[in-house]
Amino acid sequence: MSVDQLEQSVLKLKPDERRRFFDWLFDHEDELVGPDYLHPEVQAEILRRRDEVPAHPEKLEPWTGTAERVRARLHEIRRGVEDSPQILN
């Protein structure tokens, strides 16, 4: 089967079947493309973030309190609080 045929077949799937296929691809990524493969866009984003740290140290936040802020925001989301102040951006 060619890549074009595979692509056409995937696009014909129902949304829930596409998600299931996507989950399968994600679970088998290392087998399919190797453990060291990174999509070029993912690699570019990692490098951008790496370079941003020394270039803009003022953007960094201390770890202290981060877990608590994340937990609080997740609880808000779980409760469905949409109009609460943004704790996490």
pLDDT (tens digit per residue) in 9-34: 999 999 999 999 999 999 999 999 99
Q: By percentage, how much of the chain surpasses pLDDT 70?
A: 90
H/E segment holding residue 43: helix 40-55
The verdict on pTM exceeding 0.85 is no
pLDDT tens-digit map of 31-50: 999 999 999 999 999 999 99
